[in-house]
């Protein structure tokens, strides 16, 4: 199952009445199940939710806890990376080697990893004493 296609399909359901910038995300969990998310805007802008965060929440709600792969798609001139907060969220549930496919609705793709998106991520192990 193509994660970019899954992200593209769910992107259509994003709630973006203010910016018009719809984003879709698809996560393949380690067990193989796919979890989807979209951005959800709010009139009080800081209260919106990113597509990546929505997909992570769906994954956790379904009982999975580790990301094996993720795809994110938006209608933009270049493949758009996750925001800083979502990069940290991805690092919580995925190792640095986990593949991230960033795509545009026009067919451009960029392959990267969680580690490349967030080098030096703050991890649970950093809190060990």
> Which residues carry out catalysis?
52
Please report, in angstroms and rounded to a whole number, the separation of the first and last CA atoms in the chain: 42
Residue 42 annotated as lining a ligand binding site: yes
Residues in Cβ contact with 26 at an 8 Å cutoff, skipping those fewer than 6 apart: 3, 4, 6, 7, 10, 34, 35, 36, 37, 55, 70, 71
Phi/psi of residue 27, nearest 5 degrees: -115, 130
47 is in an annotated binding site: no
Which residue bears the tokens 């960029």?
110
Asked if residue 43 belongs to a known ligand binding site, the reply is yes
Known binding residue 125? Answer is no
Q: Is 83 annotated as a binding residue?
A: yes
- Binding residue per annotation — 91? no
Q: Is 39 annotated among the ligand-binding residues?
A: yes
DSSP 23: E
> Binding-site residues, please?
39-45, 50, 83, 86
> Binding-site residues for Zn(2+), please?
50, 83, 86
> Binding-site residues for substrate, please?
39-45
């Amino acid at each position: 199952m193509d994660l970019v296609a899954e992200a593209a399909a769910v992107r259509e359901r994003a709630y973006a009445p203010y910016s018009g910038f719809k984003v879709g995300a698809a996560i393949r969990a380690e067990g193989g199940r796919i979890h989807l998310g979209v951005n959800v805007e709010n009139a009080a802008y800081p209260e919106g939710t990113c597509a990546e965060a929505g997909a992570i929440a769906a994954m956790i709600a379904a009982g999975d806890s580790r990301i094996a792969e993720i795809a994110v798609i938006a209608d933009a001139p270049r493949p758009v990376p996750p925001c800083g907060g979502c990069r940290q969220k991805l690092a919580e549930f995925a190792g640095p080697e986990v593949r991230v496919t960033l795509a545009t609705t026009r067919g451009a793709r960029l392959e990267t990893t969680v580690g490349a998106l967030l080098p030096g991520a703050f991890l649970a192990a950093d809190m060990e004493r």
